[in-house]
Structure formats: C-alpha cells, structure tokens
Amino acid sequence: MKKLLIALVVSCLWTPPLLAKWEYVNISRPADGFAEVYSFAPESRDNWEGRVKLNYFAFDVVGVSGFMKLRHEWLELYAGPFIRPTPWLLIGASAGLFTEHDRHSRFAFWTEIRTNRLTAHACLELTEEGFRGDHRFTQYDANLIYWPSQYFGVGTRIIRDAGLGLQVNLKFRVLQLWLAYMPLQPESAHRADAMAFGLRVGY
C-alpha cells in the first residue's frame, strides 16, 4: 500500500513543467464546490453514495474546506484548512466523524489540480487505527483526467475496494457525467470488474 500511496503523490507532483504550458482555472470567487451522486455497478441498487464539498478561499493562498459523504447506513463529515501554493494546486487536511455503528474520528488528506487541460484529485481517508498501520481502516480515491476539449475528458481512476481503470467524463457547463471501468485489482479488492458512474454539479 505504501508504494501505491507514493505513486499517487508522485503522479500529482511530477506535472509542474507540463502544467506550465496550460492555463490554470482562475478561481476568482470566494467559494466554490460540488455536489455529486454516484454508484457502483452491477451492485447499484443499494449502493448509491452522495458527496458534497465546499471550499472557501479566505485569502489568495489559504482557505477552509468542508466535505460530507453519505450513504443509507453511514455519514462522514470533515472540515479543515487547505493551501494553494500555486494557482492550479490545492492541498488540504481535514478531521471529522464517521457514523457507521458508532461515532469514530476520521482524518482526510487531499490534493487537487485544476487546469483547462488536466484535472486531478486524490484523497486519503483513515481512522486512528489507520494511523497505527491497520490498513483495513484506510480508504483512498484518486483520478487524473485529460481534457482534449471543454466537453470531454478521459483518464484513470483508482478507488480502494473497487479497482483501477479508465474514466470518461462528459461536461456541460457545471454539469458532469462520468463513467469509470476499473478491472484491475491492486489490493485484491472485493469487487470484480467494478464499474462506477456518477453525476456531478459544480467544478
């Protein structure tokens, strides 16, 4: 797992020379965010999840982020600071609660890249047990999308307990439809040939 996490970080940090050739997304508003619903197929009947995220840019390089993820049997809530060391890169850390069976403290570390041609997001979530090395209490989700046009993007997606594979995005202004096919199982995940699909409103 350590090698996988290192690969996720490197994939987000090797890009500055490439990104310098592209225009970054100008974040001129004091806040932005998204709301998203998604599910896994073919187990989509009781497998819907929802996510809502809000970023508030208190200053040019510092802000506060809130994040919520919910499913019919649990809820996650996070809040914490983030920094923007360059116009196209956000790095944040959050703390919160996870309500499955009982309340548990939970932590998240995330990064985002936003340009007109390349977008990326990586998030690592873990509990206190995860900090102590128990990987059963660790979750990660990351994608890297190349946009040949403002309406279409293609790239890769990895989700723990789902898999690694291809993701395709269709974008219409603030509305995005995406489909991910993840047949590779880096950690012998439970789902075989997992597919995920979602609808997002926001950035």
pLDDT digits 0-9 by tens, 37-82? 998 876 655 678 899 999 999 888 999 999 999 987 889 999 999 9
Integer Cα distance of 106 and 121 in angstroms: 19
pLDDT at residue 135, rounded to an integer:
75
Q: Could you give the domains of the chain?
A: 2-202 (2.40.160.40)
Q: Give the pLDDT mean for 176-197.
A: 80
Number of Cβ within 10 Å of residue 117's Cβ equals 17
List of residues 6+ apart from 160 with CB closer than 8 A: 138, 139, 140, 141, 187, 189
CA–CA separation, 49 vs 101, rounded Å? 17
Residue 167 has pLDDT above 80, yes or no: yes
- The residue with tokens 């047949």 is 183
Q: Is 163 left (phi over 0), alpha (psi -120 to 50) or beta?
A: left
Contacts of 61 (CB under 8 A, 6+ apart): 83, 84, 85
pTM: 0.81
Whole-angstrom distance, CA of residue 147 vs CA of residue 28: 21
Calculate what percentage of the chain has a pLDDT beyond 70. Answer: 79
Tell me the per-residue pLDDT of 81-132, one tens digit each, with 9 for 90 and over.
Answer: 999 999 899 999 999 988 876 667 889 999 999 998 999 999 999 887 777 7
* Confidence label for 20 from pLDDT (cuts 50, 70 and 90): very low
